[in-house]
Amino acid sequence: MLRDLSLDLEAGSFVTLLGPAGSGKTTLLRILAGIEKPDSGRIFFEGVDVTALPVQKRNIAFVYQQFINYPSMTLFDNIASPLRVAKKKYAETEIKRKVAETAELLGLSGILQHLPEEVSGGQRQRCAIARALVKESRFIFLDEPLANLDYKLREELRADLKQIFRERDGVVVYATPEPIDALTMATHVAFMRKGEILQYGEVRDVYRNPAHAAVGSYFCHPQMNMIPCSMENRESGESLLRVSQELAFEVSLDRQKLPSDRYLLGIRPHHLYLADPLNRMVPFQANVELAEVVGSNTELHLSHDAVRISLLMQQVERFPVGKKVTAFIDPDELYIFDSETGTFVIRTGNRFK
Amino acid sequence: MAKIELKSLEHRYESSHKGKSAFAIEDLNIAWEDGTANALLGPSGCGKTTILNIISGLIKPTSGEVLFDGTRVNDLPTRERHIAQVFQFPVVYDTMSVFDNLAFPLRNRGQDESVVRARTGEIMELLDLSKLANTKSGSLNPAEKQIVSLGRGIARTDTMAVLLDEPLTVIDPVLKLDLRRKLRLAQHELKLTMIYVTHDQHEALTFADHVTIMKDGAVMQSDTPEALFLTPRTPFVGYFIGSPGMNRLPCEKTSTGLSVAGSPIAIQESIGLAANKLDGTIELGIRPEFVETSIEEKPSWNRMAIRSVDYAGAYQVLNLESGTVRIKARVEERFPSQEGDFIWAHFPADKTHIYVDGERLDR
């Protein structure tokens, strides 16, 4: 499941393990927490080897995807339970204070006397998270905690979790398949695929400089388009990038030359447009396969010469299936990846370098 | 297909443990025009599924009318209502081929085999099922099965409406797109009256030309996706639709205009004048994408502190603060802003809604 994996997590960081289902996120999380044992390799918490230490002795908290609470206890008692079973004895006044503080953070103050079944799904998961926070563990592990919540609740909880965790100096590790979770909440991201970490770094750095087509494509919301293309070097010194018979354009690669070959052209959906007021972009014809309204954006699924391309408009608009449109590519926002290995080769433009 | 209408509809469930009857639906009026794509959107428990069951005849409403093309069908049994349904879990005859599944409702009505073949062929062509015609339905993936259940529902030409209840729930994410596209295409080509029930705003806004937002058994707004976004009738709709939701600014009336409670934020004169004379509680609403921002001072714009920045890749959301008021502004990915900086924000009058006692004022 996991292969030759090394990761160094700084205190105060909020790390997302990002990747598709089956990439090994949950396994890694459970090994970090001590719920599972690795076949080989070691785990250190603040320099101390904890590989052999059972989960109860690691000073960690774990939040699952399912909202796990004690059904017969009030939210107050649920949140208080880790303090009551802790080895260190807490005075009842201290328990009250800690529960009240944690409940305040998670917006549960008014409903502490309710049973879990009497509150909403979002509040149940907030309660489970409060239980993880209350004993102030140095290490908090969360496994897709928002997966079972609806869209709006997820949005709200994401904003709250970001605020809550930025004020703590332990390590938070959060496994998720959703790039938006990593983008909006985390300080760092480890991108996983097939049991390996393809890239690890600060969130914005990984987003802007994907080391691999798989990272570029996945860690983008919606996914980055990966379009097969060819590159021909012209006598003029420019490189001609060709996607189809009719879509070919010159790109400036900062005086670098690439061998004439097949590549993958990476374009973020929001760097494609339906208008080009400054007349500096590359037009192409496409058919609308489907227009999806997502929040305040419209995602257009286009087809161009058997290539599927998605385009993100930052407004709400409707398009009939099959409508013909002219779309524009921003030539300064392109990524080129090796078509065999997927490794990053070069990007156009010079922003964010 | 038909126009489907609900008039003054009410439905009460006997609440088992409290001995009181509880309203699931109260005074509901909705009309779905013939041949249109519609969605019923709302959180779980808002009464969406109850409405579908009332349309199909599985539940008799406590009071009110259900009309198909203007004719009252309250007393018509389910079988005679000719409603096609697609559920969360695909319902197909596993041992039958795709062709036989689609032909089943036609043969069942004793249609001539040549008619059966022609119609089934037409539906298979439309739904891209022709190459699977002889495949046993049991061996299909869930998305294909869902297409077959849709096809069976629309094979009959006397179907009045197609009801879909969370049809994408069990479909793998990569296949969802294709299924959405086919639903959309079939609706468009055959001018189906479709009602799609979901709690997912993404699915509702994508599928439907007309979306009804429900909360606690009542309609909050029934409109096009654009209108729900541009002119939300209540602050709830403004918040529920869009990501992040609409900003809400509670206001106080002054002698000459309006001021934002707890903040020196300046309100445009035209809005102040429009709102000053009104009775009731006044609240302003503006979407994060319509808040204009500048890193340089601009006359009559509002100086606000950046509390934090949410990076979303394609854009950033600034969490702004002035006094006790907090708002969100959506800015482009390169906006050079940092936590702790001050920026200037402006709320264009034509993008700012006035809510009086929770209802949008039409200006």
Domain identity same for A251 and A321: yes
Domain identity same for A191 and A54: yes
B40 within 8 A of B54, measured Cβ to Cβ: no
Chain A residues in contact with B314 by the CB 8 A cut-off are 221, 268-270, 297, 312, 314
pLDDT in tens, B245-278: 999 999 998 887 888 988 888 888 888 888 888 8
Supply φ then ψ for residue B196, to 5 degrees.
Answer: -115, 120
Q: What is the pLDDT of residue A151?
A: 78
pLDDT in tens, A146-187: 887 877 888 888 988 998 898 888 899 999 998 999 999 999
Residue ending a domain, choose from A211, A235, A268 = A211
Question: Considering chain A, what is the average pLDDT of its residues?
Answer: 90
Give which of A234, A206, A239, A200 is closest to A220, Cα–Cα. Answer: A206
Q: What mean pLDDT do residues B298-318 have?
A: 92
How many domains would you assign to chain A?
A: 2
* Angle, alpha carbons A199-A204-A206 (nearest 5°): 15
Which residue type does A128 have? Answer: A
Cross-chain residue pair B314–A269, CB shorter than 8 Å:
yes
User: Residue B65 pLDDT > 60, yes or no?
Assistant: yes
A99 within 8 A of A131, measured Cβ to Cβ: no
Domain identity same for A186 and A241: no
Cross-chain residue pair B313–A220, CB shorter than 8 Å:
yes
Helical packing angle, B113-126 and B98-108, nearest 10° = 130
Domain identity same for A132 and A159: yes
Domain identity same for A233 and A202: no
Domain identity same for A21 and A133: yes
pLDDT in tens, A78-97: 999 999 988 888 999 999 99
Q: What is the pLDDT of residue A119?
A: 86
| A1 falls within a domain | no
Number of Cβ within 10 Å of residue B302's Cβ equals 21
Mutating which of B188, B203, B226 best tests the A interface, going by the most A Cβ atoms within 10 A?
A: B226
- From B229, B244, B334, residue closest to A155, measured CB to CB: B244
Q: Which of A19-23, A196-200, B126-130 has the lowest mean pLDDT?
A: A19-23
Cross-chain residue pair B311–A184, CB shorter than 8 Å:
yes
What would the two tokens of residue A184 be?
């909006």
| A145 falls within a domain | yes
A260 within 8 A of A288, measured Cβ to Cβ: no
Cross-chain residue pair A290–B205, CB shorter than 8 Å:
no
Chain A residues in contact with B326 by the CB 8 A cut-off are none
Nearest-angstrom CA–CA distance, B40 and B48: 7
| A304 falls within a domain | yes
Nearest-angstrom CA–CA distance, A330 and A88: 60
Q: What mean pLDDT do residues A249-273 have?
A: 86
Cross-chain residue pair A316–B225, CB shorter than 8 Å:
yes
User: Residue A331 pLDDT > 70, yes or no?
Assistant: yes
Give A254's pLDDT tier (boundaries 50, 70, 90). low
Domain identity same for A117 and A258: no
User: Residue A225 pLDDT > 60, yes or no?
Assistant: yes
Number of inter-chain CB pairs under 8 A, A vs B: 97
Q: Which of B21-35, B72-86, B207-221 has the lowest mean pLDDT?
A: B21-35
What would the two tokens of residue B335 be?
């906006």
Cross-chain residue pair A316–B312, CB shorter than 8 Å:
no
Mutating which of B128, B176, B182, B205 best tests the A interface, going by the most A Cβ atoms within 10 A?
A: B205
Give which of B286, B229, B313, B172 is closest to A298, Cα–Cα. Answer: B229
B100 and chain A in contact, CB less than 8 A: no
CATH number of the domain where residue A118 is located:
3.40.50.300
Q: What is this structure's pTM? A: 0.84
CATH number of the domain where residue A233 is located:
2.40.50.140
Distance from CA of A289 to the nearest CA of B (A): 7
Distance from CA of B343 to the nearest CA of A (A): 21
| A336 falls within a domain | yes
pLDDT in tens, B196-239: 999 888 889 888 999 999 988 889 999 998 899 999 999 999 99
Number of Cβ within 10 Å of residue A163's Cβ equals 14
B126 within 8 A of B66, measured Cβ to Cβ: no
B330 and chain A in contact, CB less than 8 A: yes
User: Residue A24 pLDDT > 90, yes or no?
Assistant: yes
Domain identity same for A73 and A40: yes
User: Residue A352 pLDDT > 60, yes or no?
Assistant: no
| A3 falls within a domain | no
Q: What is the pLDDT of residue B16?
A: 53
User: Residue B168 pLDDT > 90, yes or no?
Assistant: no
Q: What mean pLDDT do residues A337-347 have?
A: 93
Domain identity same for A205 and A229: no
Chain B residues in contact with A290 by the CB 8 A cut-off are 177, 180-181, 184, 206
pLDDT in tens, A89-139: 899 999 999 999 999 988 899 999 999 988 888 889 999 999 999 988 889
Q: What is the pLDDT of residue A329?
A: 96
What would the two tokens of residue A60 be?
């960690």
Q: What is the pLDDT of residue A350?
A: 57
Mutating which of A167, A316, A333 best tests the B interface, going by the most B Cβ atoms within 10 A?
A: A316
Give A353's pLDDT tier (boundaries 50, 70, 90). very low
A334 within 8 A of A251, measured Cβ to Cβ: yes
| A103 falls within a domain | yes
Q: List the beta bridge partners of residue A230.
A: A242, A262
In three-state secondary structure terms, B73 is coil
Domain assignment of residue A110, given as a range: 14-211
Q: What mean pLDDT do residues B9-13 have?
A: 88
Residue ending a domain, choose from A188, A211, A234 = A211
CA A305 to chain centre: 31
pLDDT in tens, B172-193: 766 787 888 888 888 988 999 9
| A4 falls within a domain | no
Q: What is the pLDDT of residue B272?
A: 85
Complex-level ipTM: 0.84
Domain identity same for A133 and A241: no
Domain identity same for A38 and A175: yes
Nearest-angstrom CA–CA distance, A26 and A110: 33
All domains of chain B in start order, with CATH:
4-238 (3.40.50.300), 249-360 (2.40.50.140)
Residue ending a domain, choose from A189, A211, A233 = A211
Which residue type does B104 have? Answer: F
Nearest-angstrom CA–CA distance, A277 and B196: 38
Chain B residues in contact with A295 by the CB 8 A cut-off are 201-202, 242-243
> What share of chain B in percent tops pLDDT 70?
97
- Pairing of β A44-45 and β A60-63: unpaired
Distance from CA of B202 to the nearest CA of A (A): 5
Give B21's pLDDT tier (boundaries 50, 70, 90). low
A283 within 8 A of A327, measured Cβ to Cβ: yes
Q: What is the pLDDT of residue A88?
A: 83
Domain identity same for A117 and A62: yes
Supply φ then ψ for residue A170, to 5 degrees.
Answer: -80, -160
Number of Cβ within 10 Å of residue B298's Cβ equals 13
| A106 falls within a domain | yes
